[in-house]
Structure 1
Amino acid sequence: MTTAPQPISIMSEPECWDRLSSVGLGRLVTSVDGSPEIFPVNFVVQDRTVLFRTAEGTKLVSTAINDEVLFEADYHDDTEGWSVIVRGWTRVVRTDEDRTRAEAAPLRPWTVTAKDHFVRIRPSRVTGRRFAFGPDPVDRAPAS
């Protein structure tokens, strides 16, 4: 007898990094003037960090002034899905060596605006969950 997959399961950290590496759009969660803000960003995984590009503005400033940020990426199809959350801190790429590494990453702006700043999220914690989709397990038929 085969057992059905668990509807929710915890992913290991290596699996989280593998899944993050398979997608290119995520959400940066930070704080601006004491209020939470969320920014969609295209990104790549490089050396177990999350790397994205940005222009001057609120997103760049918020990554510089906040001690911690969250980053979330996910994926789903008709039968399954997953979600990974990275908790960490951001650093604008500044050294020549790190800038050279960042520029070598396959990360290009999606819009035709100049995004001259690379930002790297250094993780303090990486967690993820996998979801198996299926029918509602509770019979919701009205009682007779």
Structure 2
Amino acid sequence: MTSKPPPVSEVEVLSPEQCWGLLRGVSVGRLAVWVTDHPDIFPVNYKVDHGTLVFRTGEGTKLHAALGETPVALEADGVDQDSGIAWSVVVKGEAAGLKLTQELLDTVGLLLFPWRAGRKDVFVRIVPASITGRRFTVTTPLTWWSPLDDAPRAGLE
């Protein structure tokens, strides 16, 4: 049985070690890349591997943008429903496709299983330039309630 972190009254800045520990506990993050003239975000299944993150993908926008000249970012988060403590970690760095046979063989043992079917035979490693994280208590919805919350909604919502 794991112990729960103590309640957090303010935003707690996490150490890199704490960030890596939290990243190991989840497998889905959001990959932020630069595509031509705008940012884009893709969900990815990833694994922590020796101080880096590895994910699988196939040909397409995500792969070409990740392997471009612009750095990438990956954000993952979670919340403990019992304690109301949430966390968020952001890794920023360079992404590179794995090409060496030994590197590819090593990543097969990571058991990366994308959610979506199809060819996902390219392994990409994000080498961090920075890793930051924070932990905080989730505020109850009543904190933010106002009379406008009961107002009729527009048809497009």
TM-score over 0.5 for the alignment? yes
Q: 2:71 maps to which residue? A: 68
SS at match of 1:18: helix
SS at match of 2:108: helix
The structure 1 residue matched to 2:87, chosen from 82, 88, 91, is 82
Aligned pair in 2 of structure 1 residues 71, 4: CA closer, same or farther (>3 Å)? closer
Aligned length: 137
| Ranges of 4+ aligned residues in structure 1 off by more than 3 Å | none
Q: Distance in 1 between matches of 2:40 and 2:86?
A: 25
Q: 1:37 maps to which residue? A: 40
How many Å apart are 1:30 and its aligned residue?
Answer: 0.6
How many Å apart are 1:32 and its aligned residue?
Answer: 0.5
How many Å apart are 1:9 and its aligned residue?
Answer: 0.4
SS at match of 1:102: helix
Q: Does residue 10 of the first structure (1) align with residue 19 of the second (2)?
A: no
The structure 1 residue matched to 2:60, chosen from 57, 60, 64, is 57
Equivalences for residues 79-118 of structure 1 within 5 A:
79-118=84-123
How many Å apart are 1:8 and its aligned residue?
Answer: 1.0
For the Cα contact (< 8 Å) 1:50–1:120, is it kept in 2? Answer: yes
Q: Distance in 2 between matches of 1:4 and 1:80?
A: 7
Equivalences for residues 127-142 of structure 1 within 5 A:
127-134=132-139
Q: What is the TM-score when the length of structure 1 is the normalising length?
A: 0.87
For the Cα contact (< 8 Å) 2:44–2:114, is it kept in 1? Answer: no
Structure 1 vs Structure 2: percent identity of aligned residues?
Answer: 37
**1:92-139 deviation digits (Å, cap 9, x = unpaired):** 011111111111112112222110000000000000000123558x8x
For the Cα contact (< 8 Å) 1:7–1:133, is it kept in 2? Answer: no
Q: Distance in 1 between matches of 2:18 and 2:40?
A: 27
How many Å apart are 1:48 and its aligned residue?
Answer: 1.1
> What amino acid maps onto 2:38 in structure 1?
S
Q: Distance in 2 between matches of 1:31 and 1:85?
A: 16
Which ranges of structure 1 fall in alignment gaps of 5 or more residues? Answer: none
Aligned pair in 2 of structure 1 residues 4, 61: CA closer, same or farther (>3 Å)? closer
SS at match of 1:112: coil
**1:26-77 deviation digits (Å, cap 9, x = unpaired):** 0000110121000110111111111100010111100111331111000013
Aligned pair in 2 of structure 1 residues 135, 38: CA closer, same or farther (>3 Å)? closer
